[in-house]
Structure 1
Amino acid sequence: MAIKIFCDFDGTITEGDNIVNLIKEFAPPSARELTSEVLNGNISIREGVEKMFSTIPSTKKQEMTDYVISRTLIRDGFNDFIQFVNNQQVELKVVSGGLDFFVHPILKDYLPTSAILCNRTDFTNQNVKIHWDYSCDENCQNDCGMCKPTVMRKFSNSDDFIIVIGDSITDLQIAKEADLIFARDFLKDKCEELSLPYIPFQNFNDIRSSLEKEVLV
């Protein structure tokens, strides 16, 4: 058995949600309304994100990149957490519903590219197009786009101890299959609603402390 951690990016590693912030800043008002449709479950995550970004001209690539990088705050304790899991020889993968043009630059000083899984962005056409390289396998029918349970199945074995760290609707399905959940914000509320056991956290120091006490003993 191995311990494997699957960690969200936007709103978890970062203080804010970059997808939401980009839509608010660069998409027309009609696209912004899709955010609530996704959160309410009226449309799939893939459909919602795809439609929202398809309203943004590809010429905005550099402006969007600069916007995100200049405003991103990494949650306290993340760098020490990376060192901690490396020392413990625990495999960590960042699994993000975010987009490569900002996820990779932000994380380049923290993790190797192989540990970062996210969606690809295509700026070659008039408007932004997203490529879903980690879409749902035959075991998931939720049209996730970035399907985190599919990623978990691909990169773990059935006897592994799975830890999920997240904050949003994109983390809910993988959280349902985890052995241990660290949750905040929307995911925390859904865990309570669905009676999923979880550990709340504010920063990565909290997570490291809990792992030292409850898992890596």
Structure 2
Amino acid sequence: VRGTVLRPGLEHLLASARQADVPFIVVTGGFTRMAEIVLEPYRADIHAIHGLEVDCSGPTLRVFSPWQDAHELVAKRQVLAHYQPRTALCIGDSITDLRVARDCPLVCARDRLAQYLQEEGKAFIPFETLDDVNAALAARGWWKEGADAP
């Protein structure tokens, strides 16, 4: 995973969030440790990373998440509820982001998530790179000091 190429614009998005004092939380349907390795150069600007964990204490590996529910191994909605933000933004691209996207007042979506939201009639901001997300948030006042961001 150390050679993983991240979506362009992450550094700028994190800088904008830091300057606006907006906590940036990564919630992945993948393994937390893998996300931590990939995001290591940016870790100081990331408030928290949540995902799958591995229990190695028994005779076999056990995959689990502190956030699992009856529907998802990583219930992103539970993570969102844990932080109790005034408002929230979901940036996603997959079916694993759909349930939390339904709960967020603002969603930036691409790929399959965009298709699912379009089919459901849920508004979203399309994006290709995280620079697109950063520009869309700037246009909506999220990065202005004192704005009503999370």
TM-score tier after normalising by the smaller chain length: 0.7 to 0.9
Give the number of the structure whose alpha-carbon radius of gyration is greater. Answer: 1
- C-alpha distance in 2 between matches for 1:156 and 1:162: 9
Counterpart check, 1:100 vs 2:32: yes
Equivalent-residue separation in structure 1 for 2:21 and 2:5 (angstroms)? 27
Residues 177 and 143 of structure 1: is their aligned pair in 2 closer, same or farther, counting only changes over 3 Å?
same
| Structure 1 unmatched ranges of 5 or more | 1-67, 137-141
Give the alignment of 1:75-90 within 5 angstroms.
75-90=7-22
Instruction: Identify, as 1 or 2, the structure richer in helix.
Output: 1
Report % sequence identity.
Answer: 25
User: What's the offset of the Cα at 1:96?
Assistant: 0.9
Match of 1:117 in 2: 50
Residues 166 and 187, structure 1, Cα contact 8 Å, conserved in 2: yes
The range that moved more, 102-111 or 176-185, is 102-111
Superposed displacement of residue 209, structure 1: 0.5
TM (norm. structure 1) is 0.61
User: What do residues 75-107 of structure 1 show as CA deviations (whole Å, max 9, x unaligned)?
Assistant: 101011111110011111001111133111111
The separation in 2 between residues aligned to 1:130 and 1:199, in whole angstroms, is 33
> Using the alignment, how far apart are the partners of 1:201 and 1:95 within structure 2?
18
Aligned partner (choices 62, 71, 80) of residue 129 of structure 1: 62
2:123 and 2:15 map into 1 onto residues whose CA distance is 27
Per the normalisation by structure 2, the TM-score is 0.86
Partner residue, 2:76: 148
Indicate the SS of the match to 1:96. strand
Alignment check: 8 A CA contact 1:167 1:187 kept: yes
**Unaligned stretches of 5+ residues in structure 2:** 145-150
What's the RMSD between the two structures over aligned residues? 1.8
Q: How does 1:156-195 map to 2 (within 5 A)?
A: 156-157=84-85, 160-195=86-121
Q: Which amino acid aligns with 2:55?
A: D
| 8 Å CA contact retained: 2:36, 2:43 | no
